[in-house]
Amino acid sequence: MARLSIAGAAPASFEGGGSLLELFGDFFKQLYDTTGWNFVIFYDQVEWDRFIAAIWTTIKLIIACLIFSVIVGVVGAWAQGAKSKLLRYGMAGYIQFFRNTPPFVQILFFYFVLGNLTPSYDAGGYQEAYIGSFGWAVISLGFFAGAFNTEIFRSGIEAVPESTQEAASALGYTRLQSYIYVVFPLAFRVCLPALNNNLVNLLKTTTLAYGIAVPEMMYTANQVWSDNVNVPEMMIILFIFYVGLVAILVWGMHRWEKSMKIPGYG
Amino acid sequence: MKMKTKKTTIIAGVAAALAFGAVTTIADQAFAGNDRFKKVLARGELVVGVKADYKPWGFRDSSGKIVGMEVDMANDVAKALGVKLKLIPVQSSNRMQFLQQGKIDLMIATMSDKANRRKVVGVTDPNYYTSGTNVLAKKGAVKMWADLKDKPVCGKQGAFYNKQVTSRYGAKIVAFVGNAEAKQALRDGKCVAWVYDDSSIMADLASGQYKDYEMPMKTEDDTPWGLAVPLDEKDGIWGNFMSGITYNWHRTGRLIELEKKWGIQPTAYLATMNKKFEAYEPK
C-alpha cells in the first residue's frame, strides 16, 4: 500500500518511466528470480524513479561544476598576471589552499562550516539555506578544480611568446584587451589537453558530493544497495554510468580541440 | 553365467562409484560448512565486525578503544572459544560484505533482522535485541510522523528506515555517511528531525548533550536484531554455537545486565526472552 501511494505521488517522470519499466521490467525481474542478479532499479518503480532522479542530479552537478571551474580558471589565470600585488598574492593563496587540501575535506568544510555562516530562513522547524547541499558541492568542487584550471591556463599563457603580446600592445591593445583577444585564444588551444584531463578528474570527483547528501548517482546507488542488498549489481551500474559520462565528455573535448586547431600552430 | 557376473560387477562398480561420490560430496559439504570455525580455532583469534560509531553498542572511548554492549558480547564469544578477540569496525552499508568476503568471522553490528538479509548472511536465532524507528527533534518541532511530510529529515546512509519514512510519510531524507555528520546537520537546523533507531536516540538523550531535544514519535517497526555468521556456516558448528551462546545470554540475564551497564533503557523484549528461556530447576 505504502508503495502504491508513493507511486501515485511521484512526479511527471512516472508516466514515461512506467512504460519503459513495462518494456524491460519483466526481464530483469525474471533475471533476479532465476539467477539472483538483482538489478532492482530496472523493475521496481520506486527505485527506478530514484535512479532517474539521480542521473539528472549528477548531470546537472557535473555541468555546473565544469562551467564554474572553467570560469574560475580563466579569471584566476588573468588575476595571476595582474599588476595589483594584492590580487596576485590572493590568487596564490587560493591556489595553495585548494590544491593542498583533499576535496572531500573541502566539501565537508564548505557545507558544515561556511554553510552555517551564510543566510538562511526558518521554514517551519528547520533552517532552509539559500545555498543548499547542491550549491555547496558546486562551489567547493568548482573552486577545487578551478585552482588546477588556473595553473593549467597559466601554463598556456606562458606558452604564448612575449613578442606576440608586445605586438598586441603595439597595436594599441590594453592589457585586458590583449588577454581577451590575443593571448587567451592562443593559450586556450595550448592548454586544452591538460584542461581536458582536469575536467575528467572533476567529473569523477563529483561523486564526493554524496558526503553532504547531494542525491547524485553515488549517493543513490548507496541507498539502493542498502535497501536491497545488491552491492555488486549497483557497483556495475555505477561503473558503466561513469565510464559512459567520461566517454561523452572526452569525445566532446576532442571534437572541440579539433575544431579549434590552427594549422601550423601548436 | 559368466556374462551375468560381469554385468553384476559393472553395476556394483557403478553403484560403489556413485556411493563414494555421494559420500565425498557430503564430506566436502560438511567440511565447507565448518571452514571458518576451524580457521578461528587454528588462528587462535576471532575477528568480529562491530560498530565503532554507534554508542553505546559499539563506539570508541576516549582512548580510541572500541567498547560497548556488542563488544562485550564479542568478548563473551571469544572467551567461550578460548581465543583472542580482534575487532574490526564496520558500517551499516558494508557489514554484510565484510562477512561474505571473509574479512570478519562474526558480525554483531546492530543489524536489524530482515528476510532479504537472511539470504545473504547467516543470521542465527534467537535474536539478541529489538529496536524500532523514532526521531530526535528539537522540542516541539514535530509531534506526529505526519508532521514530517515534505520536510528535510536527516538520516544515515544504509539505514533501511530511510525508505520507509519516505514512502509512508513523504519525508525528504537527507542521508549522511556517519551519525556524527547527520546529527551535526540536525543541530545546525538543516533538517527538522533525525530519524534513527530508538535505542540509539535514548542513549543520546541520556548523554545530556541534547537537552533541547526530544524523541516525540511513537516507535514504529519494532524489529529484532540479528548477529550473523557466514551463510554457509549457519547450519554448521559456528551457527549452532552462536545460537547456543545467545540462548544462554537470554537465560542467564547477561543481556539485561549489559543493557544496564551501558545505560540503555530496559527493553521489554529482553525481559520476555529471559522469562521464556528460564531454565527448568530440577527439585
Residue A33 has pLDDT above 70, yes or no: yes
Minimum mean pLDDT among B147-151, B153-157, B275-279: which range?
Answer: B275-279
B65 and B189, same domain (yes or no): no
Q: Is residue B156 part of a domain?
A: yes
Whether residue B124 is found in the same domain as residue B41? yes
* B175:A223 CB<8 A: yes
Q: Where are the domains of chain A?
A: 45-236
What global pTM score does this model have? Answer: 0.68
Q: Chain A: residue nearest B192 by CA?
A: A126
- Do B93 and B217 lie in a common domain? no
Residue partners of B235: CB distance under 8 A and separation at least 6: B33
Q: C-alpha cell of B207?
A: 548523554
The confidence band for A7, taking pLDDT boundaries of 50, 70 and 90, is very low
Helix (H, G, I), strand (E, B) or coil at A70: helix
Domain count, chain B: 2
CA distance A18 to B283: 68
Report whether B263 contacts B67 (CB < 8 A): no
Residues B110 and B239 both lie in one domain: yes
Between the CA of residue A62 and those of A65, A69, B20, what are the distances in Å?
5, 10, 62
Same domain, B135 and B198: yes
- Residue B29, pLDDT > 60, answer no
pLDDT attached to residue B204: 82
Same domain, B41 and B103: yes
Asked if B174 lies within 8 A of A213 by C-beta distance, the reply is: yes
Whether A223 and B184 lie within 8 Å, measured CB to CB: no
Q: Considering just the CA atoms, what is the radius of gyration of chain B in Å?
A: 24
Domain boundary among B223, B252, B272: B223
Closest CA to A41 of A240, A259, A210, A249: A240
Both B47 and B111 in a single domain? Answer: yes
Please answer yes or no on whether A126 and B192 come within 8 Å at the CB atom.
Answer: yes
Query: Is residue B123 located within the same domain as residue B41?
Result: yes
Start-to-end CA distance of chain A, whole Å, equals 65
Q: List residues of A whose CB lies inside 8 A of any B CB.
A: 2-3, 5-6, 9, 46, 108, 112, 115-116, 120, 123-127, 129, 133, 210-213, 219, 222-223, 225-229, 231
pLDDT, one tens digit per residue, over A69-112 is: 999 999 999 898 888 899 999 999 999 999 999 999 999 999 99
Q: Is the pLDDT reported for residue B26 higher than 60?
A: no
| Contacts of residue B72, Cβ cutoff 8 Å, sequence gap at least 6 | B258, B261
Domain A45-236 CATH (choose: 2.40.30.10, 1.10.3720.10, 3.40.50.2300, 3.40.50.620) = 1.10.3720.10
Residues of A with CB below 8 A from B189's CB? 120, 126-127
Instruction: Look up residue A140 and give its amino acid.
Output: S
Q: Which amino acid is at A199?
A: L
Q: Which of B145, B176, B213 to mutate to test the interface with A (most CBs of A within 10 A)?
A: B176
Do the domain assignments include residue B244? yes
How far apart are alpha carbons A104 and B202 in whole angstroms?
Answer: 31
- Domain for residue B179, yes or no? yes
Among B178, B200, B172, CA closest to B92: B178
Provide the residue type at A119 as one letter.
P
Confidence band of A3 (pLDDT split at 50, 70, 90): very low
Residue B137 forms part of a structural domain: yes
B176 φ/ψ sector (left φ>0, alpha ψ -120 to 50, else beta): beta
List CB contacts of B104: < 8 A, sequence separation 6 or more.
B47, B48, B49, B88, B90, B98
Testing the interface with B: which of A44, A126, A224, A228 to mutate, by most B Cβ within 10 A? A126
| Chain B interface mutation, best of A223, A230, A234, highest count of B Cβ atoms under 10 Å | A223
Please tell me whether residues B44 and B110 are part of one structural domain.
yes
Do B234 and B94 have their domain in common? yes
Strand B193-197 and strand B152-156: the pairing is parallel
Q: For residue B137, list chain A residues with Cβ-Cβ distance below 8 A.
A: 125
Chain B residues inside the 8 Å CB shell of A230: none
Checking if the pLDDT of A119 tops 90, the result is no
Q: Which residues span the domain enclosing B255?
A: 37-128+226-264
Are B28 and B45 in contact by the 8 Å Cβ rule? The answer is: no
Tell me, what CATH number does B177's domain have? 3.40.190.10
Quick count: other Cβ atoms within 10 Å of Cβ A172? 8
Evaluate whether residue B152 is within a structural domain: yes
Task: List the beta bridge partners of residue B176.
Answer: B156
Same domain, B237 and B115: yes
Contact residues, chain B, for A2 at CB < 8 Å: 164, 167-168
Q: Of A29-33, B35-39, B186-190, B201-205, give the lowest mean pLDDT range.
A: B201-205
